[in-house]
Amino acid sequence: MPIRGVSTHARCATLSRVRDGFYYKYWVYILTSRTGTLYIGITGYFDKRIHQHKFDTIEGFTKKYQCHRLVYYESFQDAIIAISREKTNQTLASRKENRINRKVESPLAGLGRKLGP
């Protein structure tokens, strides 16, 4: 049964969109800085976007934190799956960062209790 207000032909067309003679691809990628700061992003124009990051042509996080080194990428045919993967990567990176911070802070936290009033 067709969805109300949506043509079945329109749904099929969205699955096989073509850009510049090629099927759409969505890229999830991770950049890092020399200090270990991570940036996780998604784009439909991989080469162009990586160039923008490397040469700081756009104001933002990667320019501020100098995230220029590409360390990981993967491609997807479906934008929804790519966005989901980006969010998963961001969650995993955040959890790892929190674990590292807890390990670094835990010895100092005990010291504060010993020296406190």
In order, the DSSP letters of 36-50 are --EEEEEES-HHHHH
Q: Of 90, 88, 35, whose CA–CA distance to 64 is shortest?
A: 35
pLDDT of 98 reads 76
Residues in the chain with pLDDT < 50?
Answer: 1-16, 108, 111-116
Domains and CATH numbers, the chain: 17-115 (3.40.1440)
pLDDT of 99 reads 76
pLDDT of 68 reads 94
Residue 41 exposure: Cα atoms within 13 Å on the Cβ side: 19
pLDDT of 2 reads 40
pTM for the whole thing?
0.67
pLDDT of 88 reads 92
Beta-strand ranges (E) seen in the chain are 18-19, 22-23, 26-32, 38-43, 69-76
